[in-house]
């Protein structure tokens, strides 16, 4: 079974963003430029917080609109990003209806590849990296 970044309990999210910083720092970047996960408040922190990231579609719209095949569909869901082929058109960003693809400062997308690195930093058990059944 494939391993994925999964939500264990979204209600526990405090919006600290450690996942976002971890995502960029995995690439040696301090900040959020390369981050493919975003902590947001729910129309203000009074309603709590949540995180937005790729949900590993089996028929990913972002792949379908990629003109250079930089984004490749993974069989069990989710994408592979071949950065060298990307021309930074941004079609994938527009195609993702949950807004889970972000634009880096070089114009290319930041998209979650389900490596699970960020889950190690989640202090409150919101995120986990575990095997999931393909659905």
Note the residues at the interface with other proteins (CB under 8 A). 14-18, 20-21, 24-25, 28-34, 38-41, 43-49, 52, 102-103, 105, 121, 123-124
Q: Smallest gap, in angstroms, from Cβ of residue 39 to other proteins?
A: 6
Question: Minimum CB separation from other proteins for residue 46, in Å?
Answer: 4
What HEC string does 39-94 produce? Answer: EEECCCHHHCEEEECCCCCCCCHHHHCCCCCCEEECCCCCEEECHHHCCCCCHHHH
Considering the complex, state which of residue 2 and residue 33 has its C-beta at the smaller distance from other proteins. Answer: 33
Q: Which is nearer to other proteins, 82 or 120 (CB)?
A: 120
Nearer to other proteins, 9 or 67 (CB): 9
Residues near 9 by Cβ (< 8 Å), separated by ≥ 6?
Answer: 125, 126
């Amino acid at each position: 079974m494939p391993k994925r970044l999964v939500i264990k309990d979204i209600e526990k999210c405090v919006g600290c963003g450690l996942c976002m910083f971890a995502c960029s720092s995995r690439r040696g970047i301090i900040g959020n430029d390369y981050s493919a996960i975003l902590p947001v408040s729910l129309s203000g922190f009074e309603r709590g917080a949540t995180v937005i990231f790729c949900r590993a579609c089996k028929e990913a719209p972002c792949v379908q609109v990629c003109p250079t095949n930089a984004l490749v569909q993974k069989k069990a869901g989710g994408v592979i990003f071949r950065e060298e082929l990307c021309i930074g058109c941004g079609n994938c960003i527009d195609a993702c209806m949950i807004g889970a693809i972000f634009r880096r400062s070089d114009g290319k997308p930041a998209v979650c590849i389900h490596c699970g690195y960020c889950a190690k930093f989640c202090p409150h058990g919101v995120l986990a990296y575990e095997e999931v059944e393909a659905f």
